[in-house]
Amino acid sequence: MLESFLITSRETLEASLVVGIVFGYLNRTSQHSYKRVVYYGIAAGVLLSMLAALLFISIAGEFAGRAEEIFEGMTMMVAAVLLTTMILWMLRQQRIARQLESRVASHIQKAQVSAWGEWGLFLLVLIAVLREGVETVIFFGAISYSSGVSLLGGLLGVAAAIAIGYFFFMGTRKVNLRRFFHVSSVLLILFAAGLVAHGVHEFEEAGLVNGIIAPVWDINPVQNADGSYPALHEKGAVGSFLVGLFGYNGNPSLVEVLAYAAYLSAIYVIYRRIEFSKGAGATQ
């Protein structure tokens, strides 16, 4: 549930930031006639995102056996890459709202002097919504293969993101986006590392990757006599939650362990470089 909440809250919030800035700018400049263009862009983005979800489900349903394992592994890897780029982009931004507002203002100014300007504003909103929608479809596809999608968690994430976006841009702007992004980024980095390890596991199942040593360890508790799983088993109540959020595996192969560790190490190095560059820029 938590992983679904994190995905939808982050993705919806990014789209909400753009939409919120547009509405905020239109309200401050009394250019209410452009609001219909924004609504059209939102509706089109949501509709195309739903079509992308149907397309993904249709394509995924065509695979079976080894091809299915390869497709699942590739979906997890693509999701991990998208998550990583999103997280790193957020970590690089020191003044997210100000940068986005400047961009939106530029589009609206063009709309005032060009007959095609409204299309530019429409496409700005549509692409913002569609991009996050397509990424959410891919992320949910990866989650469904690893632990399962929580509809309640996803809906709560959407609601929370819309509320944060509303209060930040239409209210007092006292919502600490920076803190929210940092906390959620740490959790999503661990989630992405788990996707990498799960993707490697699927490639092992398909025979594309040699696990070298499988398993390296096995800490899964013995199955209960009635056939149920103990809470700490990777298929148990606690273990299954850890599988989805942190990529927990009670009996991983050596390659899975190395992939997990390599991903976290690479992210740590990149993060340190980003923080160093921020510090260097602040002293200039």
Q: And the tokens for 99? A: 């940068």
User: pLDDT tens digit string along 71-97?
Assistant: 989 999 998 888 888 777 766 655 565
Output 178 or 201, whichever has higher pLDDT. Answer: 201
pLDDT at 148: 67
Average pLDDT of the chain?
A: 80
- pLDDT at residue 246 tops 80: no
> Would you say residue 284 has pLDDT above 60?
no
Among 52-56, 112-116, 266-270, where is mean pLDDT lowest? 112-116
What pLDDT, on a 0 to 100 scale, did the predictor assign at position 265? 94
3-state secondary structure string across 235-269: CCHHHHHHHHHHCCCCCCCHHHHHHHHHHHHHHHH
pLDDT of residue 95: 58
In this structure, the dihedral spanned by the alpha carbons of residues 28, 34, 40 and 45, taken in order and rounded to 10 degrees, is: -50
Q: What pLDDT score does 167 carry?
A: 72
Q: State the pLDDT at residue 255.
A: 95
Asked whether the predicted pLDDT for residue 244 surpasses 90, the reply is no
Give the residue with greater pLDDT, 69 vs 116.
Answer: 69
Asked if residue 183 belongs to a domain, the reply is no
pTM score of the predicted model: 0.75
The answer to whether residue 185 sits within a structural domain is no
Split at pLDDT 50, 70, 90, the class of 196 is: very high
Q: Residue 94's pLDDT is what?
A: 53
Determine the residue type at 91. Answer: L
**pLDDT surpasses 70 at 98:** no
Q: Rounded CA gap, 47 and 64, in Å?
A: 29
Higher pLDDT, 215 or 107: 215
Residue 13: is its pLDDT beyond 90?
no
If you ran DSSP here, which 8-state letter would residue 217 be given? -
**What CA–CA distance (Å, rounded) separates 256 from 211?**
7
Q: Which of 114-118, 175-179, 236-240 reaches the highest mean pLDDT?
A: 236-240
Average pLDDT over residues 19-41: 80
Tell me whether residue 157 is in a domain: yes
Report, as an integer, the average pLDDT of 239-256: 82
Cβ atoms within 10 Å of 265's Cβ, excluding its own: 11
User: Hey, is 175 helix, strand or coil?
Assistant: coil
Query: In the prediction, which pLDDT does 116 show?
Result: 63
78 located within any domain: yes
Measure the CA–CA gap between 176 and 174, rounded to whole angstroms. 6
Query: How many domains does the chain fold into?
Result: 1
Asked if pLDDT for residue 249 goes beyond 80, the answer is yes
Position 102 in a domain: yes
| Residue 34, domain member (yes or no) | yes
Both tokens of 129, joined, read: 């919504």
- pLDDT score of 283 more than 80: no
Domain of residue 90: give its range.
2-176
Contact 260, 194 (CB under 8 A): yes
